[in-house]
Amino acid sequence: MKSRTIRTQSEEETVALGESLAAELPAKVAVLLIGNLGAGKTTLAKGIVKGLGAAHPDEVSSPTFTLIHEYGPRVYHVDLYRLDRAEQVASIGLDEIFDREAVVLVEWGERFPELMPEERVEITLRSVGDREREIVIWPRMNANERK
Whether residue 100 has pLDDT greater than 70: yes
Instruction: Please give the Cα distance from 36 to 27 (Å, whole number).
Output: 27
Q: What is the mean predicted confidence (pLDDT) over 24-43?
A: 95
Torsions phi, psi of 56, nearest 5? -75, 145
Please return the burial class of 130, using the count of CB atoms within 10 Å of its CB with bins 0-12, 13-18 and 19+.
Answer: exposed
Domains of the chain: 4-145 (3.40.50.300)
pLDDT score at 90: 85
Can you give the pTM of this predicted structure?
0.92
pLDDT score at 62: 87
The model's confidence at residue 65, banded by pLDDT at 50, 70 and 90, is confident
Q: What is the mean predicted confidence (pLDDT) over 94-110?
A: 95
Any residues with CB less than 8 A from the CB of 22 and at least 6 apart, and which?
Answer: 47, 48, 49, 50, 51, 52, 103
Q: What is the pLDDT of residues 115-141, one digit of tens each?
A: 999 999 999 999 998 889 999 999 987
Mean pLDDT of the chain: 92
Query: What single letter denotes the amino acid at residue 92?
Result: I
Q: What is the mean predicted confidence (pLDDT) over 66-89?
A: 92
Instruction: Please give the Cα distance from 134 to 17 (Å, whole number).
Output: 12
Order the strands of the 120-128 sheet from edge to edge.
Answer: 4-8, 132-140, 120-128, 29-34, 103-107, 75-79, 68-71
